[in-house]
């Protein structure tokens, strides 16, 4: 299968990366799509130019993707100013088609960041259109609608978990890969007093305790036409 993370920012894959690594272990191909340029993720350097910030975030994400032999598509919309426009919709439809998506991970509909919730809405619409011929793009439509699962949101939101994935065997690799986001490791330590490893491990241990394993990630299906399958797709 083609397994695709569709997120607002570079590093948002932290909530599904362990599961994606488990997918890779069973022979799946991995892809990452980000919609924004990530240029507002620099609390440690707020005067950095958008161009330089975007270049750094793009380089970091490409480094992570390259480490797992994954594809990466960045739509490059302005960070913190992501809007649902015809151009963004068409760009995402083309990106989904280009990856050949069979399984998609994306943001939950409630989240602290409106870029995240905008991506959720865009994926709901664009995944459907990606398998229909009415909106032509360079790449042909998908043969079937991909399965879509939403990830644990950041913040005090109720998340209706339906699926747990035991990714204990891949947890250490997940942490090493996330540290490719060096700029965000620095930003988190300055802004929150904690880094990517600690942020990830707290939730992964909590979900692991719920599932009776060491480390787990939790998901809920996107409840839209075609996104829920009558067969197992998670590893």
Helices of type H across 100-214: 114-129, 171-178, 182-191, 196-211
The confidence score (pLDDT) of residue 43 equals 92
CB burial class (10 A; 0-12, 13-18, 19+) of residue 230? exposed
Calculate what percentage of the chain has a pLDDT beyond 70. Answer: 100
Has residue 128 got a pLDDT over 90?
yes
CA 93 – CA 88 distance, rounded (Å): 9
CA 168 – CA 189 distance, rounded (Å): 25
The confidence score (pLDDT) of residue 192 equals 87
pLDDT range class, residue 32, cuts 50, 70, 90 = very high
The confidence score (pLDDT) of residue 95 equals 98
88-101 tens-digit pLDDT: 999 999 999 999 99
CATH superfamily, with its number, for domain 2-221: LmbE-like (3.40.50.10320)
In the block, tokens 């620099």 appear at 42
The predicted model gives 33-62 an average pLDDT of 97
Mean pLDDT of the chain: 97
- Phi, psi for 190 (deg, rounded to 5): -75, -45
- Given a contact cutoff of 8 angstroms between Cβ atoms, the answer to whether 196 and 188 are in contact is yes
The predicted model gives 12-28 an average pLDDT of 98
Number of H helices, E strands in the chain: 7, 7
CA 110 – CA 180 distance, rounded (Å): 27
């Amino acid at each position: 299968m083609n397994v695709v993370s569709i997120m607002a920012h570079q590093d948002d894959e932290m909530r599904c990366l362990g599961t994606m690594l488990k997918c890779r272990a069973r022979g799946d191909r991995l892809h990452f799509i980000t919609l924004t340029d990530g240029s507002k993720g620099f609390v440690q350097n707020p005067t950095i130019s958008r161009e330089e910030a975007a270049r750094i975030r793009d380089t970091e994400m490409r480094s992570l993707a390259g480490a797992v032999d994954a594809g990466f598509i960045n739509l490059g919309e302005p960070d913190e100013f992501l809007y649902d426009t015809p151009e963004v919709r068409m760009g995402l439809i083309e990106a989904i088609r280009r990856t050949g998506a069979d399984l998609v991970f994306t943001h939950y509909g409630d989240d602290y960041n409106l870029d995240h919730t905008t991506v959720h809405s865009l994926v709901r619409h664009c995944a459907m259109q990606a398998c229909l011929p009415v909106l032509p793009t360079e790449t042909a439509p998908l043969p079937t609608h991909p399965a879509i699962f939403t990830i644990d949101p950041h913040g005090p939101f109720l998340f209706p978990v339906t699926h747990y994935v035991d990714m204990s065997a891949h947890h250490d690799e997940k942490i090493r890969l996330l540290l490719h986001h060096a700029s965000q490791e620095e930003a988190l330590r300055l802004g929150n007093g904690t880094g990517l490893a600690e942020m990830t491990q707290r939730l992964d241990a909590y979900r692991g305790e719920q599932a009776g394993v060491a480390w787990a990630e939790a998901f809920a299906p996107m409840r839209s036409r075609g996104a829920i399958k009558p067969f197992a797709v998670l590893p």
